[in-house]
């Protein structure tokens, strides 16, 4: 098998991982298909309806991208922390605190548009970073496990936002049954994308595709650059794969983890903004939740790589929007898409693990000079 | 009548205690076997919807059994992922929570023709009065009247749990799998079945707790009714240092923290503190504890680590 040996190791990695994803997709589609058949529907028809509904018209796809926007940010936040061996389960709490601080800046400040909107965004980022700082500093200084502290910070965040909404931010408008903040002034609202591109005929304003989507793509590029082209990113990946050798190589574990966790928190700040500034225009009690947890799933699916994350987020958007098609065209409950999502994440997680082991075994069997040290996902057990 | 309020608050606190304690015990079995389980919330959610369905059709006893059984089955996903495929425990736990949300919606639509709730009035057990305690004077007896029979059972459960963990072959082996799996295997004991059992017990107990919530406490299934109680159970477990008795104290504390905003909002001192800050107490206390500012917490040594033992692990 001399020919096989000539392949560079990354080709091997890519092939095995793509096979793993393909296998996981087939497995999830097959199990989902069995459930659909039990319901007396044709799985091929259901899947094609789902796809059609989400992608047939430009306006449908705009809604897919609208759903993908917050997921890209939250998955990036998870990935940035994950790369240095930390698990940010706290994106959920961080982004709702960010929504709260953004609302404060939007309602309390009265500024012209070119200054107001960036300040509101900055306020969200700052709020989220503060929320990420607590578990990060505790991890670095006391060794408190970030999984536990971020879960607790999530619990505190939802109570804090509920309190702020009831007291500080509650609107003075009379005759309102709903609990919400004041409506934001126009200067704090993010413009929709369609008019800027001259597509307002095809994409109605009910699809809240805003400039946050290109910003999300930009964030992917920035994160990629950070991880793979900067010293901090290199050190972070070293800390994530082998803390001992990273330290021996001169990287400060605590300092690197603190910085990366703060960057993760900053990214989390953007998660709630498309909903807040592009759709609702106020903070209400029924603000969107669970985007942080879904982001974790998107990050797994996208292999914690910026490009994979974009694809995974769009896939989740398609499943989310395709629900409507299933509700219209079939007798299935629309929640079948959530089941398919779940099956997909589960099988992908297992498939990646199997792929990782296959690659590891191959590398061990390969001649020593070819065994390139490879970045591994830091497991919780591996971080002290 | 502040004391009457106090009695009522204790009654609610005891109901929440039951949920937190049962779920926390589940987490204890899992983590003592070496498998970190942050999917307790998700396991509980599945228990709420399945339990309510079972109770509507066949009564509360079957409802609780169905809830526990569904928790068990769902937890096997976590066991297969973490023990057999050695997926990171946190990754798998997160997935369990995300997926549970979807499963609950799907099942709710299937069972109740509404994706977010069942009809109210899910049949439950006849409430009982605890002898002696229920006749306490000055309204305090209220705390022990009209109680679900499951609550005293949860209290008594600590005895068999301690017995199992410290006096039976299974319990000792389970703990050894969580502390030092290599030593366990050296003695000729297979680690994987022990860890499967630990996770299955966590699913059973969390599912039971979920069913208790939807059947006995609310008599209704509703999306989001677990309100993060699975995470609070995790907090109680950490604070309780993975010991059944100390977990009980933690669960009592956090159970009452849940009840205070509901019943004691008008009491002096507490009334001045916003509800939302009272609800933060369990989380803040846990952060302080885990950061080592008070005492130390010692998780099972091998918890969270995949065991890579060769051959028949």
pLDDT tens-place string over residues A123-182: 999 999 999 999 999 999 888 888 889 989 999 999 999 999 988 888 887 777 778 898
Q: Please check whether residue B144 is in contact with residue B8, taking contact to mean a CB–CB distance below 8 angstroms.
A: no
Q: Please check whether residue A331 is in contact with residue A39, taking contact to mean a CB–CB distance below 8 angstroms.
A: yes
Residue B288 near chain A (CB below 8 Å) = no
CA–CA gap between residue A88 and residue A78 (Å, rounded): 6
User: Which residues are paired to A170 by β-bridges?
Assistant: A181
Please, what's the b/e burial string for B36-64 (b: 16 or more CB within 10 A of its CB; e: otherwise)?
bbbbbbbbbbbbbbbbbbbbbeeebebbb
Closest B-chain CA to A292 = B98
Residue B284 near chain A (CB below 8 Å) = yes
Best A156, A285, A289, A360 member to test B by mutation, with max B CBs in 10 Å, is A156
What sign does the CA torsion over A68, B113, B68, A29 have? negative
Q: Do A345 and B234 touch (CB under 8 A)?
A: no
Quick one: average pLDDT of A265-273?
97
First to last CA, chain A: 41
Which residues 6+ apart lie within 8 Å of B59 measured at CB?
Answer: B123
- List phi, psi (to 5°) of B310: -70, 150
CA–CA gap between residue B270 and residue A287 (Å, rounded): 28
Q: What is the 3-state secondary structure (H, E, C) of chain B?
A: CHHHHHHHHHHHHHHHHHHHHHHHHHHHHHHHCCCCCCCHHHHHHHHHHHHHHHHHHHCHHHHHHHHHHHHHHHHHHHHHHHHHCCCCHHHHHHHHHHHHHHHHHHHHHHHHCCCCECCCCCCCCCCECCCCHHHCCCCHHHHHCCECCHHHHHHHCHHHHHHHHHHCHHHHHHHHHHHCHHHHHHCCCCHHHHHHHHHHHHHHHHHHHHHHHHHHHCCCCECCCCCCHHHHHHHHHHHCCCCHHHHHHHHHHHHHHHHHHHHCCCCCCHHHCCHHHHHHHHHHHHHHHHCCCCCCCCCCCCCCCCCCCCCCC
Of B94, B232, B287, nearest to A89 by CB-CB distance is B94
Q: Which residues of B touch A153 (CB under 8 A)?
A: 283, 287
Q: If we measure between CA atoms, which residue out of A141, A40, A154, A42 comes closest to residue A90?
A: A154
CA–CA gap between residue B12 and residue B279 (Å, rounded): 14
Q: Please check whether residue A146 is in contact with residue A139, taking contact to mean a CB–CB distance below 8 angstroms.
A: yes
CA–CA gap between residue A147 and residue A195 (Å, rounded): 42
CA–CA gap between residue A36 and residue A356 (Å, rounded): 32
pTM of the predicted structure, to 2 decimals: 0.88
pLDDT(B173) > 90: yes
- Number of A to B CB contacts under 8 A, please give it: 139
Q: Do A346 and B290 touch (CB under 8 A)?
A: no
Q: Please check whether residue A319 is in contact with residue B95, taking contact to mean a CB–CB distance below 8 angstroms.
A: no
Q: Which residues of A touch B286 (CB under 8 A)?
A: 148, 152
Helix or strand run (H / E) with residue A91: helix A91-108
pLDDT(A13) > 70: yes
Residue B245 near chain A (CB below 8 Å) = no
Q: If we measure between CA atoms, which residue out of A178, A192, A131, A120 comes closest to residue A159?
A: A131
Q: Do B284 and A152 touch (CB under 8 A)?
A: yes
Q: Do B115 and A335 touch (CB under 8 A)?
A: yes
Higher pLDDT, A172 or B272: A172
pLDDT band at B7; cut points 50, 70, 90 = confident
Q: Do A349 and B95 touch (CB under 8 A)?
A: yes
pLDDT tens-place string over residues A54-69: 888 888 899 999 999 9
Distance in Å, alpha carbon of A338 to nearest chain B alpha carbon: 5
Counting Cα atoms < 13 Å in the Cβ hemisphere of B253 gives 20
What's the pLDDT at B115?
81
CA–CA gap between residue B185 and residue B196 (Å, rounded): 15
Six token digits for residue A348:
């992908």
Closest A-chain CA to B307 = A381
Of B277, B290, B305, nearest to A145 by CB-CB distance is B290
Residue B249 near chain A (CB below 8 Å) = no
Q: Which residues of B touch A300 (CB under 8 A)?
A: 91, 95
Instruction: Tell me the C-alpha to C-alpha distance, in Å, between residue B124 and each of B17, B18, B66, B129, B211.
Output: 18, 16, 14, 15, 11
Instruction: Tell me the C-alpha to C-alpha distance, in Å, between residue B296 and each of A158, B124, B193.
Output: 27, 41, 31
Q: Please check whether residue B212 is in contact with residue B18, taking contact to mean a CB–CB distance below 8 angstroms.
A: yes
What's the pLDDT at A103?
96
pLDDT tens-place string over residues B61-78: 999 999 999 999 999 999
What's the pLDDT at B272?
65
Q: Do B88 and A333 touch (CB under 8 A)?
A: no
What's the pLDDT at A259?
96
pLDDT(B41) > 90: yes
pLDDT(A382) > 70: no
Share of chain B above pLDDT 90, in %: 46
pLDDT tens-place string over residues A211-264: 999 999 999 999 999 999 999 999 999 998 888 888 888 778 899 999 999 999
Six token digits for residue B28:
């204890």
What's the pLDDT at A211?
93
What's the pLDDT at B138?
67
Best B24, B46, B98 member to test A by mutation, with max A CBs in 10 Å, is B98
CB-neighbour burial class of residue B152 (10 A; exposed 0-12, middle 13-18, buried 19+): middle
Which residues 6+ apart lie within 8 Å of B109 measured at CB?
Answer: A333, A334, A335, B115
Distance in Å, alpha carbon of A339 to nearest chain B alpha carbon: 6
pLDDT band at B9; cut points 50, 70, 90 = confident
Q: Do A342 and B231 touch (CB under 8 A)?
A: no
């Amino acid at each position: 098998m001399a020919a096989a040996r000539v392949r560079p190791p990354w080709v091997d990695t890519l092939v095995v991982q793509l096979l793993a994803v393909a296998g996981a997709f087939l497995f999830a589609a097959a199990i989902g298909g069995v459930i659909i058949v039990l319901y007396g529907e044709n799985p091929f028809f259901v899947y094609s309806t789902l796809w059609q509904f989400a992608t047939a018209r430009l306006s449908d796809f705009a809604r897919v991208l609208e759903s993908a926007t917050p997921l890209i940010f939250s998955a990036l936040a998870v990935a940035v922390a994950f790369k240095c061996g930390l698990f940010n389960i706290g994106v959920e709490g961080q982004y709702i605190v960010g929504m709260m601080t953004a609302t404060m800046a939007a309602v309390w400040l009265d500024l012209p548009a070119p200054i107001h909107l960036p300040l509101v965004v900055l306020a969200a980022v700052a709020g989220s970073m503060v929320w990420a700082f607590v578990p990060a500093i505790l991890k670095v200084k006391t060794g408190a496990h970030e999984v536990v502290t971020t879960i607790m910070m999530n619990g505190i965040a939802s109570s804090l936002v509920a309190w702020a909404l009831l007291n500080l931010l509650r609107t003075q408008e009379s005759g309102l049954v709903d609990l919400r903040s004041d409506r934001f002034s126009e200067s704090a609202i993010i413009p929709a994308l369609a008019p800027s591109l001259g597509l307002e005929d095809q994409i109605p304003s009910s699809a809240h595709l805003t400039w946050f989507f290109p910003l999300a793509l930009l964030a992917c590029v920035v994160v990629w650059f950070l991880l793979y082209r900067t010293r901090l990113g290199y050190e972070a990946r070293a800390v994530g794969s082998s803390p001992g050798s990273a330290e021996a190589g001169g990287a400060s574990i605590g300092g690197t983890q603190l910085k990366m966790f703060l960057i993760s928190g900053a990214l989390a700040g953007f998660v709630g903004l498309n909903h807040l500034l592009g759709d609702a225009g106020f903070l209400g009690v029924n603000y969107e939740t669970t985007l942080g947890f879904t982001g974790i799933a998107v990050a797994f699916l996208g292999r914690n790589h910026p490009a994979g994350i974009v694809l995974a987020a769009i896939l989740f958007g398609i499943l989310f929007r395709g629900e409507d098609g299933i509700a219209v065209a079939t007798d299935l409950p629309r929640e079948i898409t959530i089941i398919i999502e779940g099956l997909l994440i589960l099988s992908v997680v297992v498939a990646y693990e199997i792929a990782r082991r296959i690659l590891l075994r191959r590398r061990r069997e390969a001649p020593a000079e070819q065994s390139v040290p490879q970045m591994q996902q830091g497991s919780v057990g591996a971080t002290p | 009548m502040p004391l009457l309020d106090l009695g009522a608050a204790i009654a609610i606190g005891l109901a929440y205690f039951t949920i937190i304690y049962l779920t926390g015990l589940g987490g204890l079995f899992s983590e003592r076997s070496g498998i970190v389980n942050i999917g307790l919330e998700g396991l509980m959610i599945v228990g709420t919807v399945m339990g309510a369905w079972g109770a509507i059709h066949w009564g509360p006893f079957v409802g609780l059994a169905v809830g526990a059984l569904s928790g068990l089955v769902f937890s096997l996903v976590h066991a297969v992922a973490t023990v057999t495929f050695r997926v990171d425990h946190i990754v798998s736990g997160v997935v369990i929570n995300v997926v549970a949300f979807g499963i609950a919606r799907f099942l709710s639509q299937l069972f109740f023709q509404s994706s977010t709730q069942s009809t109210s009035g899910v049949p439950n057990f006849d409430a009982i009065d605890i002898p002696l305690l229920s006749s306490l004077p000055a309204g305090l007896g209220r705390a022990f009247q009209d109680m679900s029979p499951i609550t005293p059972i949860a209290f008594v459960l600590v005895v068999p749990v301690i017995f199992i963990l410290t006096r039976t072959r299974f319990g000792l082996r389970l703990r050894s799998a969580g502390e030092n799996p290599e030593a366990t295997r050296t003695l000729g004991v297979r680690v994987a079945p022990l860890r499967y059992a630990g996770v299955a017990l966590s699913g059973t107990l969390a599912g039971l707790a979920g069913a208790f919530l939807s059947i006995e406490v609310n008599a209704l299934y509703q999306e989001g009714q677990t309100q993060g109680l699975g995470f609070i159970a995790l907090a109680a477990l950490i604070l309780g240092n993975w010991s059944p008795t100390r977990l009980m104290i933690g669960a009592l504390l956090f159970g009452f923290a849940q009840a205070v905003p509901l019943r004691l909002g008008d009491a002096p001192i507490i009334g001045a503190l916003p509800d939302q800050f009272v609800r933060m107490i369990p989380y803040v206390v846990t952060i302080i504890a885990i950061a080592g500012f008070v005492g130390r917490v010692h998780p099972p040594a091998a918890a969270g680590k995949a065991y890579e033992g060769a051959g028949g692990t």
